[in-house]
Amino acid sequence: DQQVKQNSPSLSVQEGRISILNCDYTNSMFDYFLWYKKYPAEGPTFLISISSIKDKNEDGRFTVFLNKSAKHLSLHIVPSQPGDSAVYFCAASARNNNDMRFGAGTRLTVKP
Amino acid sequence: ETGVTQSPTHLIKTRGQQVTLRCSSQSGHNTVSWYQQALGQGPQFIFQYYREEENGRGNFPPRFSGLQFPNYSSELNVNALELDDSALYLCASSPTGTSFTDTQYFGPGTRLTVL
């Protein structure tokens, strides 16, 4: 059962422009959401997170938006840099259920 | 501070065999989680250990088992290997609690191929 979905397998943007990566979830019990970035031959690295009590969290060039009514979150990267090229995973967890669900990932390519 | 390491990097087994994968967590990290990542998919949670006790489990059969040791190392054991067990296996450690709000630090993974 795919409770976390990333419907775009890939995204290509020009350096300096905005990258928007989307994620949808179905389980209304999820109350904590994370984005991980993965380079080839490395494990995922934590990027940014958001609790369900917020609708926005910002960290430098990275901003995550959460729309609970739509069960949708997005990651904005502004401005995009070639070093941002990686696979981005969205993940969700529920505080009272010791489990974490990942989406299938979106491969971002930032062209110089 | 050393990162999370996993061994071996790659492994080839045949159906029906047993395999042990190893993970060395960051020093001081009491929680370790294991994930299976099939090709083209996101990581799937297998189980989590906290202070050497299993603390949560995903939808995986009992032939997937684990151990965590006091020296911050852990093992994932898979018995009676099936072709579908071919995947990248990731371990992740976190410093304190067992909640997934605690940042997890992932190792590079072990690529298991079952023939």
Q: pLDDT per residue over B47-93, tens digit each?
A: 999 889 998 899 999 999 999 998 889 999 999 999 999 999 999 99
Question: Closest Cα to residue B106, out of B91, B86, B85?
Answer: B91
Kindly give, in sequence order, each residue whose CB lies less than 8 Å from that of residue B45, ignoring residues fewer than 6 positions away: A99, A100, A101, B33, B34, B35, B56, B58
Token digits of residue A71: 């069960």
Task: Give the tens place of pLDDT for each residue, A60-76.
Answer: 999 999 999 999 999 99
Tell me what the pLDDT averaged over chain A comes to: 94
Residue A58 has pLDDT above 90, yes or no: yes
DSSP structure string for B46-78: EEEEETTEEEEE-S--TTEEEEE-TTSEEEEEE
Q: With a cut of 70, say whether residue B98 has pLDDT above it.
A: no
Distance from the Cα of A104 to chain B's closest Cα (Å) equals: 4
Q: How far is CA B84 from each of CA A94, A100, B21, B88, B100, rounded to the nearest angstrom?
A: 28, 21, 17, 11, 27
Q: What is the pLDDT of residue A38?
A: 95
Cα(A109)–Cα(B68) distance, rounded to whole angstroms? 38
**Pick from A107, A106, A103: which is nearest to A26 by CA?**
A103
pLDDT higher than threshold 60 for residue A92: yes
What is the distance in angstroms between the Cα of A32 and the nearest Cα belonging to chain B?
7
Helix (H) and strand (E) counts in chain B = 0, 11
By the CB < 8 Å criterion, does A24 face chain B? no
How far apart are alpha carbons A52 and B62 in whole angstroms?
33
Report how many Cβ contacts below 8 Å link chain A to chain B: 59
Q: Which of B42, B58, B105 sits opposite A89 (nearest CB)?
A: B42
Share of residues in chain A with pLDDT > 70 (%): 96
- Three-state secondary structure call for residue A84: helix
- Span B12-20, mean pLDDT? 97
- Whether the CB of A30 is below 8 Å from some CB of chain B: the reply is no
Torsions phi, psi of B85, nearest 5? -80, -10
**Which SS3 state, helix, strand or coil, does residue B85 take?**
helix
